Structure 1
Amino acid sequence: MKTLLKDANLFTASGELGIFDIWIEDGKIYAIGQSFEEEAFDQVYALDGKFTAPGLVDVHVHFREPGFTYKETIATGSMAAARGGFTTVCAMPNLDPVPDSKENFQNIQTILKKDAKVNVLQYASLTKALRSEELVDYAQLKEAGAFAFTNDGVGVQTAGTMYLAMKEAAKLSMPVVAHTEDESLLFGGVMHEGKRSKELGLPGILSVTESSQIARDLLLAEATGVHYHVCHVSTKESVRVIRDAKAAGVHVTCEVCPHHLRLVDEDIQSDFGFWKMNPPLRATEDQKALIDGLLDGTIDCIATDHAPHGLEEKSQSFLNAPFGIVGSEYAFQLMYSQFVQTGIFTLKQVIDWMTKKPADIFGLKAGYLDVGRPADIAVFDLEQNYQVDANKFESMGVNTPFDGWTFSGDTVYTFVNGEVVWQREE
């Protein structure tokens, strides 16, 4: 099967945009050039100068299967990713059963092979059942196909457990990925501790709840030599300690979410669960630190933390609703509209943070639009508006405060191994 993407507007090796044709054959990019004979191809897609990028890479999603399929399934979650232009995503292990054994991990792999619409890599847990102090068999899980270990959804509360986990992961040259949250500092908090939490009469979450555990883990990472990756960084103190650790030579990487870049706690309109996420929306000074952290390289990449929940459970007060926000279907559009069109970031920076940077962090076979690579490609219409409409999501989750917002840069096509897995309806 030979496919031609005609007149794609893509970044060249020099970082400039140019119009090229992409020749796809046997699921890979065979050639990138100009004036290929259309008659020689089985299928031709006329892109008419639309922006074409490597398929986006998201190292932080929750697909809820097995165990919580009323929230999301692998089929619906991966289709939501495809709708957003993502072709490779990494699924978290807060499932039931947890992928903490070879058998549990392989059972998830079986579902992925059957139902996933995009490339999905599965995390294994750091400890048995996530919340225990008992370490998993790291070597066995790596052999089963795990690419990294994390207890995302909960922080590892005991320093000794994290230290031993890091040692085991380091032996296998595997990353430890951390949701950082010292539960002894939570005090029942449900949103960021600040003026808005007081106005709403809701208990606040201290910034140090996150940053203190990052500081602990950075010293443990230095002591063990492990690759330590921090999930969804949200506070200025977290950015500072990560910046200092990088300067000291600690092998640390980290991610930030689009919602933390765009929203702050004072944007929260009411005591309604769609605004409840973990980490919470922080203060304006934290938002500035996150933007600065991306620009100076302290923060390495952008990830969505796509976390769907049932409508009924999210349609409650902060006090009762679960934490979580969906984000797969509009992450690029949000970043493009709110940051590229306003001149804060360049398009090249955003694409790098959403493709090659996350791929390079974890050594994934993704993130590049080069000859010989898998034909995982996203096409965006930068002139076409996209209105966020939760009722039309591919995801089962509708829990987003962005419902009704209009962004630019709608997804036109998403290709995985040269095959169209999502296409905009005309």
Structure 2
Amino acid sequence: MAVLIITGGRVIDPAGEMDEQADVILEDDRVIEVGEATTAQKDDAQLLDARGCIVCPGLIDPHVHLREPGQEDKETIATGADAAAQGGFTSVCCMPNTEPTLDDDGRINFIYTESRRVGLANVFPVGAITKGRKGEELAEIGLMSAAGAVGFSDDGCAVASASVMAKALSYIAMTGKVLMQHCEDPELGGGAMNEGAVATRLGLAGWPRVAEELIIQRDIMLNLRRNVGARYHVQHVSSGGSIDLLRRARHDLFGQAHITAEVSPHHLLLTEDACSSYDSNFKMNPPLRSRRDIEGIREGVRDGTVTILATDHAPHTREEKELEFAAAPYGIIGLECALPLYVRGLIETETLDWPAMLAMMTSQPARLCGLEGKGTLCAGADADVTVIDPNEAWTIDVDAFHGKSRNCPFHGWNVTGRPVATIVGGRVCMLRDETRLTRGDSVYSVYSV
């Protein structure tokens, strides 16, 4: 029996409506108790000193790209799980745009097998909606669901056909899993950056907001007006107009049961003006938009229209990102620096407080993806815990990242707030200061690959 007691921290467990000074007692891979540990309990346990820190359920990212199988030069499950642990994430959900696509039960099983072998952050697979993500024929939804796919997405592409989408909503509704839609009308999307005066000045192809908004509106009609009742989730919202559509759908027309949405750090902090440098680390899908869009998204976070925070971690090689802006691939990495960026975009702007923000990174994504035992510190929950120093000031340095890729537009930013320990299944997978972890007079080493 291995006992780890996290002592002296501010425990924030949104699922349990807890925000108080307490100890968190873990035994093997389970949470035993949150309260005041006795002297006898401490004498027989490893102790992790969390004074001055926030202790919360392990952070969960429902939207990452780990590139394995097929693109291991960009990222692997091992390096991605390591990057996740460095960023305080105990669980991530990987998208199916791999080579080959995650579109059958065998490939879903592969992700679980490799995740268990690596033994760092948990990796949960999201299956493709259509075979090969081509948008033409539904993938094996039932078999993938039975194998453990936590949701379904053709991320990187929208399901453009309304008839295919209608079938997908019906089939996925029967599984109880969530359909995650990348909202981009292919006939309007695909530009290099946001459509507008900045794109015109830079001579780059524009990508209008309506490309996102049209798909959202269509899918709302297909799902809710036809009474399908699928759980529908909008990925990486980038437009204030999208927020307006989602707000009306959730609150005015149909209630809140089946529609959710996520936002990524870059769409809370960066505008299209960043593209003026022609640095392709500012090229992403969907593109950076205007200051007005950022304000609309923050208001959507504040009023509960957006309930999930997700990085859309998308690694690419240095050679790919060194291409000219129009030719470079979309996407940036985010796992290792997301937390302080959300602090910058949400807490420092007084959009949210710590408990509300952490709910969007713990209990809400756990609920979205059906991750039983995760996203909470209640007795019997999985021993997945993140310890955060909310006051640590540091500089983002991509050369110190553990993931394979370096395509991050936030390199050199001075930020505040940092995960200092990540515990997965009762094991300390990341610890910035090993002197925090003691037993008697001993200092314990941290688990590593």
**Partner of residue 408 from structure 1, selected from 412, 416, 420:** 416
User: How many Å separate the matches in 2 of 1:279 and 1:39?
Assistant: 50
CA shift for structure 1 position 210: 0.8
Is 1:235–2:242 an aligned residue pair?
A: no
CA shift for structure 1 position 110: 2.0
Q: Number of paired residues?
A: 425
TM-score (norm 1): 0.96
After superposition, give the CA deviation of every residue in 1:151-200 in whole Å (9 maximum; x if it has no partner): 011111111111111111112222211001111113x5110012221221
User: How many Å separate the matches in 1 of 2:122 and 2:234?
Assistant: 22
User: How many Å separate the matches in 1 of 2:346 and 2:69?
Assistant: 36
CA shift for structure 1 position 286: 0.9
CA shift for structure 1 position 301: 1.1
- 1:243–1:339 distance in 2 versus 1, CA, 3 Å: closer
The one-letter amino acid of 2:24's match is: I
Partner of 1:384: 392
CA shift for structure 1 position 121: 0.9
CA shift for structure 1 position 230: 0.7
**Partner of residue 85 from structure 2, selected from 82, 85, 97:** 82
Does the aligned pair in 2 maintain the 1:272–1:316 contact within 8 Å? no
**Partner of residue 254 from structure 2, selected from 249, 263, 271:** 249
SS in 1 for 2:328: coil
**Partner of residue 171 from structure 2, selected from 168, 171, 188:** 168
After superposition, give the CA deviation of every residue in 1:117-154 in whole Å (9 maximum; x if it has no partner): 11111011011000141111211111111121110111
Does the aligned pair in 2 maintain the 1:383–1:409 contact within 8 Å? yes
User: How many Å separate the matches in 1 of 2:377 and 2:83?
Assistant: 22
Partner of 2:431: 423
Does the aligned pair in 1 maintain the 2:59–2:90 contact within 8 Å? yes
After superposition, give the CA deviation of every residue in 1:27-57 in whole Å (9 maximum; x if it has no partner): 1111111242154323111222311111111
Partner of 1:18: 20
SS in 2 for 1:63: coil
**Partner of residue 56 from structure 2, selected from 24, 29, 53:** 53
User: How many Å separate the matches in 1 of 2:25 and 2:106?
Assistant: 40
Is 1:9–2:10 an aligned residue pair?
A: yes
After superposition, give the CA deviation of every residue in 1:330-355 in whole Å (9 maximum; x if it has no partner): 11111113431342321111111111
Does the aligned pair in 1 maintain the 2:136–2:164 contact within 8 Å? yes
**Partner of residue 286 from structure 2, selected from 279, 283, 286:** 279
Partner of 1:318: 325
Partner of 2:137: 134
The one-letter amino acid of 1:311's match is: R
CA shift for structure 1 position 96: 1.1
Does the aligned pair in 1 maintain the 2:13–2:377 contact within 8 Å? no
After superposition, give the CA deviation of every residue in 1:63-85 in whole Å (9 maximum; x if it has no partner): 00001000000011111111111
Does the aligned pair in 2 maintain the 1:200–1:270 contact within 8 Å? no
SS in 1 for 2:75: coil
Does the aligned pair in 1 maintain the 2:298–2:346 contact within 8 Å? no
The one-letter amino acid of 2:294's match is: Q
Partner of 1:62: 65
CA shift for structure 1 position 425: 4.6
User: How many Å separate the matches in 1 of 2:400 and 2:286?
Assistant: 27
Q: Which moved more, 1:331-340 or 1:146-155?
A: 331-340
Q: Structure 1 residue runs of 4+, over 6 Å off?
A: none
Identical-residue share of aligned pairs (%) = 37
User: How many Å separate the matches in 2 of 1:90 and 1:415?
Assistant: 18
Q: Which moved more, 1:159-168 or 1:115-124?
A: 115-124
CA shift for structure 1 position 328: 0.7
Does the aligned pair in 2 maintain the 1:337–1:409 contact within 8 Å? no
Is 1:73–2:50 an aligned residue pair?
A: no
User: How many Å separate the matches in 2 of 1:35 and 1:420?
Assistant: 19
**Partner of residue 99 from structure 1, selected from 85, 98, 102:** 102
Structure 2: any 5+ residue segments left out of the alignment? 435-449
Q: Which moved more, 1:119-128 or 1:13-22?
A: 13-22
**Partner of residue 405 from structure 2, selected from 393, 397, 404:** 397
Structure 1: any 5+ residue segments left out of the alignment? none
Partner of 2:337: 330
The one-letter amino acid of 2:20's match is: G
User: How many Å separate the matches in 2 of 1:12 and 1:65?
Assistant: 33
- 1:329–1:375 distance in 2 versus 1, CA, 3 Å: same
CA shift for structure 1 position 18: 2.6
SS in 2 for 1:354: coil
Q: Which moved more, 1:13-22 or 1:30-39?
A: 13-22
Q: Which moved more, 1:100-109 or 1:327-336?
A: 100-109
SS in 2 for 1:104: helix
Does the aligned pair in 2 maintain the 1:61–1:91 contact within 8 Å? yes
CA shift for structure 1 position 363: 2.4
User: How many Å separate the matches in 2 of 1:71 and 1:143?
Assistant: 29
Partner of 2:188: 185
Does the aligned pair in 1 maintain the 2:65–2:315 contact within 8 Å? yes
CA shift for structure 1 position 20: 1.1
SS in 2 for 1:218: helix
- 1:168–1:392 distance in 2 versus 1, CA, 3 Å: same
User: How many Å separate the matches in 2 of 1:100 and 1:341?
Assistant: 41
Partner of 1:120: 123
- 1:16–1:171 distance in 2 versus 1, CA, 3 Å: closer
TM-score (norm 2): 0.91
